[in-house]
A and B are shown apart, each in its own frame.
Chain A
């Protein structure tokens, strides 16, 4: 079995596009959550959201003019920016002509793709104008459009696919690529996920009344993971991408290694035992974390830090309880824990991949990025975790092992154990 390492990363997040800008934002607690007039006009309760500012990006660095023509799928824009940046960051070539790179694949997830393009198509079809749809409606709106765009741009000849598991999608994609390399079916896999922006993606969550309505005038303060005043998650969007590679190949190429994946696990609570379509079965969450730790051949005490799912709802308390139960650690023994959703909201299908990119940057920076807006840590959380373990600003700390988990609608869970690379 191959050891699997991360050799490249790219990101298109609400608080930063590209690793330098994103790292700077995370270090300094800069929020990417903003007020959107469009949401106000559409009478949304929550009129704030996280959206990457791609207006200043030269899209010709990523797409041909022909590819840009009629392109109206924000998830494709974000995913291609993050994916191509990650590939370049890994120092990997783009296959030009002839055979593809049979050893390189793509697992790039999404929840729903090309929503705005689909809206265009629906209007045309309803007007009896199906003949006017053009040739790219399908590729922009099929879920696997994002892996298809990336696989074609890079010339990947291994498995090219898209996974979808709600808010665990990004973390699941990483584990899928990891398994494929570990079992020697691929040498490199570009993994990640993207999520479209806009009212048609976020509207359903607003209707469920799980988004905060009291922060429209105060967007930076709105996403409050682990805080007593948390009142719901802020919808986000964007993409994160990582190049996973066998250790052997990475060493051969003399590539920069961000971290090693020690192991992980994916499971479901089956919507039983307290689990529902929208709430987790706690036993399943605990089992998922425990088996990820076992799979990594470490003990829970070796975990220095956790990047939680922690969406900033009242359920954050339950998540902390689950971590504490799974690891058998509490108070001062509990690892450091943070939630980057405080700075860019809940990027839905893109959440896991963007947050894993941020998690791994902590190894390189030898820092743990602070969680903003939790100055009033929830009293139930502070009975389980010593307050010193919840840094509110970035601290200098050299993590050796970090655990990352994501949970999603459908009662699905994913947990990965990352380690600083040890020769």
Chain B
């Protein structure tokens, strides 16, 4: 229907409840997770073929397909983003097999997970704003339900409700902004939007549309002050879902902002990016100050995601090729780092059943592998060389200095220094003397939880030591992003 990767994911999404029902019938709950993981693995293989194709042809576009006459336009950026989503999704699926073993409704869980990943892959493959919006809603709706997955807990329901309302309002403004754009140009195609608004002097409606879209996507991206739903939702969701939400879902917002900025809003880019620049600094400061006194581990990590989004937005707001390279590399790195961190937090939660940091003092002594992987991810989040977070932050800071925005670079550096305060607090918690009974009797997490964690931690180190191959792909992605402006701006 669309493209093999996306089709496959949708097929697995639809067939998941049936397979899950059958699996429950024969009392093999594990099969649900295995099926989902298999689907993601095959999707990964298909994505690799797509990657080969894209690296030859630059762009694959397939207009007017399917039920709502969707328009897909796959370039290197789309493939790169999809690889992050499917990769993290695969790790999370394997992790969830054991993590969700005690829960009811596992088939629904995996269905929603696959639906969310399909939505995200659709977003990055979309060639026009409407297609993007449809997949956006697919992602959003499934993520609302996933946050509320533990439906008997008040916390989950409250968080999901907040998330639903705020995100819904955001989607509404996006839709309104899109309709302005359509009304002015008669097209929602990125190429068409770029040529319609690229050269003409901007009119007030375009500013208004850009504003509405910024606010709408800003909710998902968690730009301060639109971030208030995030700590609740990310903390209340099951840990693998927190890893997805924090690791990749908020990054679809960054992706959408980047995409729209370099197509429809080329002519208002300067003003738009200067707003974003201010917002990015506010976002990273708030994201780094809020978790300082936080005692809830997952909430702390959720706040830190806001700060990390701030770094990415800083890269976007600089707007040069190098800065965008930093942003997208950080996107990948953040998926790895925050994914690992949340999965580790989940492993600890799974073992001792608490998210409160003062109750988990010394857990690293009992769960050394988890603790080491956790520490690696936290050091990477702090931006410590030779880990991957350092590389991308360095690129963003370098880009800031090159564009004579030294203050922005300094802000990023100071913020990552500040962030060390709470990341190191977690590390300290891991190695403190054991206080509680629960910790004293804890054991290392099961192997199925450790495998994805260790694999991702290894990638954090690997990319930190040898970032060149990844940077090359990111550079091609950024070139793909800039290709619209290249034609228009000459």
A binds B: no
